[in-house]
Amino acid sequence: MITELRIKNFKSIKDESLRLSSLNLITGINSSGKSTLLQSILLLKQMNASKTIISLNEHVVELGTIEDALHQFYRENKIEIGLTLNSKESFLMSIDEPDKILQQDNDSIILDGNKSFLTRLLKKIKYLAAERMGAEFSYELGSNKNHLGKNGENTVSYIFENRNKNVSTKDLIHPNSKKAEGIEDNLLTNINEWMKEISPGINLEFSSDQKIRASSMSAVYYSSTLFNKVTPKNFGFGISYCLPIITLLLTSKKNDVILIENPEAHIHPTGQTKLGYLCAIAAKAGIQLIIESHSDHFFNGVRLALKDGIVKKTNLAIYYFDKKLEGELSSQNLSTIISSVELHENGKIKSAPEGFFDEWQNSLFKLL
């Protein structure tokens, strides 16, 4: 597990060190540096540690030019990204001359730490971007049958190929699945049971056609004898956006590190709360989650899991990102400001900065 992350001179973050835990919720105003935190880890993931080569633009993350990656008001011509694992092993990547990072023989990148250990960690990192697969009549078969894709584009074919396998972690078996003798830990059974928390009554079916190299899914609500099958184009984006998240959680193992952007997208409030609760269960199972979200409903799902004893307060890290101008008018800097949010064991908020999920209350006061 990543227990500390240090970022210096990377995009909007000038110099910050964050304590990370099992379940980490990153929230805040738009364009305040939340995605930068995720991208710092993903940049390490697409580094070739053995050759000390790093690329700003690969399939995992695309940052643009070095000017886009370097903090606008840097004082040192250096980018640093550091990780501490299990409060023991520490790794620090320093790019002393960022303009050289695209060169093949690169001596400007310094990696301080056990490279083989770091390589094993980075293989455990899984990522789902904010823009996920939409509703389609069919989905191209994924070239990597063991990977959902950063946009979840391989999810449908992955489920079809692995539908008879078991859920990786027993804690994530849905209570209703336990009633199905002999198939209680079946992957497809559990995907459908958790999807029913999002869309009650739904039952997803999957198929594949090797001739046209495509897979497809359809939904039956409650009973196939009562209702016809429905294609993704006709049951909306919420199902297709949520499906990769649930599949990723159910197929991840202890010590995996999951990064998810905006899990709440296209999902109604009750479903968002259920998804937050499910993520807390995954954290209890030993899966580390770093989640960027704008949803107070998702946050409430985490709070309910805390109250129910699914996770402990020490297993949570919640951060609010803001930005502000600093310095004199002639030399002002626009900096990311990161504040910690504290909860009580009963899930109530102990302390939080202004702007943290308080708009509902602010609007209510205006309506009174």
Mean pLDDT of the region 81-104? 74
pLDDT tens-digit map of 219-277: 888 766 666 788 888 887 899 999 999 999 999 999 999 999 999 999 999 999 999 99
* Residue 357 or 232, more confident: 357
CATH of 2-124+255-367, one of 1.10.340.30, 3.40.50.970, 3.40.50.300, 3.30.470.20: 3.40.50.300
Where does 208-336 have alpha helices with state H? 237-251, 269-284, 296-307
The amino acid that residue 311 corresponds to is V
Q: What is the average pLDDT value for the chain, to the nearest integer?
A: 87
Residue 26, C-beta contacts closer than 8 angstroms, at least 6 positions apart = 34, 37, 38, 290, 291, 292, 293, 319, 321
End-to-end C-alpha distance for the chain, whole angstroms? 46
List, in sequence order, every residue forming a beta bridge with 7; answer none if it has no partner: 16, 81
**pLDDT on residue 246:** 97
Residue 23, C-beta contacts closer than 8 angstroms, at least 6 positions apart = 279, 280, 283, 288, 289, 291, 302, 311, 315, 316, 317
Residue 354, C-beta contacts closer than 8 angstroms, at least 6 positions apart = none
What CA–CA distance (Å, rounded) separates 326 from 314? 33
**What's the Cα-to-Cα distance from 214 to each of 7, 12, 162, 206, rounded to whole Å?**
41, 41, 16, 11
311 and 17 Cβ atoms separated by less than 8 Å: no
Residue 311, C-beta contacts closer than 8 angstroms, at least 6 positions apart = 22, 23, 280, 283, 284, 302, 305
Where in the chain are all domains bearing CATH 3.40.50.300? Answer: 2-124+255-367
Using alpha carbons only, what angle is made at residue 40 by residues 341 and 87, rounded to the nearest 5 degrees?
65
pLDDT tens-digit map of 128-157: 999 998 877 778 876 655 589 999 999 999
Quickly state the pLDDT bin for 103 (edges 50, 70, 90).
very low
